[in-house]
Amino acid sequence: DSGVTQTPKHLITATGQRVTLRCSPRSGDLSVYWYQQSLDQGLQFLIQYYNGEERAKGNILERFSAQQFPDLHSELNLSSLELGDSALYFCASSAFRPGRNSGNTIYFGEGSWLTVV
């Protein structure tokens, strides 16, 4: 158990719909990351938040957005869903602190399986 909690574990929705994936980081971690992994594909970095602020953005579509709340949980919002958005979405967290020489190990949750039909 990594300590990172993701909900829901499985989600089936129709094209054009919108879903929200939720993540609770490990206790004490301020940095949250979102990744997408399609079937037999590598992990695609989407976005990182640190203490509520967006810190880095990867290959995240404009239809996708994320935020990190004051209690440090994060949500990934996926809208206007397409069949190609079907994937496993991982949240991860780390003890990363700007300027501190530690914390680059990241811990992944079990993922949220999204199926768009």
Partner 1 sequence: LAKTTQPISMDSYEGQEVNITCSHNNIATNDYITWYQQFPSQGPRFIIQGYKTKVTNEVASLFIPADRKSSTLSLPRVSLSDTAVYYCLVGPLSGGYNKLIFGAGTRLAVHP
To the nearest whole angstrom, how small is the minimum distance from the Cβ of residue 6 to partner 1?
9
The owner of tokens 């811990």 is 107
Burial 40-55 (b: 16+ CB within 10 A, else e): eeeebbbbbbbeeeee
Q: Is there binding between residue 33 and partner 1 (CB under 8 A)?
A: yes
Q: Is there binding between residue 55 and partner 1 (CB under 8 A)?
A: yes
Q: Is there binding between residue 48 and partner 1 (CB under 8 A)?
A: yes
Report the distance separating Cα 34 and Cα 98, nearest Å: 19
Q: Is there binding between residue 105 and partner 1 (CB under 8 A)?
A: yes
**Both structure tokens of 37:** 């992994």
Enumerate binding residues for partner 1 (CB under 8 A).
2, 4, 33, 35, 42-43, 45, 48, 55-56, 58, 88, 90, 92, 96-111, 113
